[in-house]
Amino acid sequence: MSHVLVERPEEGIALVRLHRPEVRNALGLELRQELAAGFRALGADAAVRCIVLTGGPEVFAAGADLRALVDATPVDLLLRDTQRLWQSLAECPVPVIAAVNGHALGGGCELAMHADMIVAGESARFGQPEIRVGIMPGAGGTQRLTRAVGKFKAMKLLLTGEPMTAREAEAMGLVTEVVPDAEVLERALTLARKVAHMPPLAVRQIKEVVLAGQDASLAEALLLERKAFQLLFATRDQQEGMRAFLDKRKPAFEGR
């Protein structure tokens, strides 16, 4: 039975669902492998313009599968090479929107932070509780969280293991929007629909420059932005978008 379900609800949009309800979508090795394979395939599919990643109605992902880790050795972890699996998500060229209901804890929070936008339900909870079981985050929790909310907020979450509410996460800058629980997936799909109707090459360039520029100096990041901006003037979509605006008509973007 597959632990990751991939659907195509409409043209241009892929919906990826975590599907281990019996263990609250714990991120076991098999699920991570399926997730990585799915993102590699979707990222290479020119027909996919936006991806929505979600879990269940009561839990997004409760974190790592501790039963598979309790007796693991450092060599076991090294050989699993899970960094390679996470990298498939981090390097996905297509925008990703996480639709989060319920708990997104530990690896679940780290998974959500791989997305480009996070839509959370009112009852969602985010946190990095690894310290409570004697370890620490190992898939970006100390780095992505700090970049999203700042050192002082991140340290509280990392050193106490306490979760934060969706509203607290929104106030800190971790969450894009908070909506009623029953509207999370539909809101994420609405955002995905808007992205999917934008010029694909411009969308991909924006994501690439934003992510690459985060760890560059301001001068280097501005150079990346300027070159990408100039490059888009070689596309048909730039001509179509500007002419459609001047002609007061809806543009027909081709991704070329």
Contacts of 137 (CB under 8 A, 6+ apart): 106, 110, 128, 130, 145, 158
> Residues 61, 108, 121, 130: which is the catalytic one?
130
Q: Is 159 helix (H, G, I), strand (E, B) or coil?
A: helix
> Residues 55, 110, 112, 154: which is the catalytic one?
110
Q: Contact, 29 vs 64, CB < 8 A?
A: no
Please tell me the distance from the alpha carbon of residue 99 to that of residue 106, in angstroms, as a whole number.
16
Could you confirm whether 64 is annotated as catalytic? yes
Q: Tokens 């934003």 belong to which residue?
A: 210
Question: How many residues in total does the chain contain?
Answer: 256
Pairing mode, strands 177-179 and 164-165: unpaired
**Amino acid code (one letter) for 28:** G
Could you confirm whether 130 is annotated as catalytic? yes
**Amino acid code (one letter) for 5:** L
Find, among 139, 145, 245, the residue nearest to 199 by Cα.
245
> Residues 38, 107, 140, 141: which is the catalytic one?
107
Could you confirm whether 220 is annotated as catalytic? no
> Residues 14, 62, 64, 192: which is the catalytic one?
64
Q: Which of the residues are catalytic? A: 64, 107, 110, 130
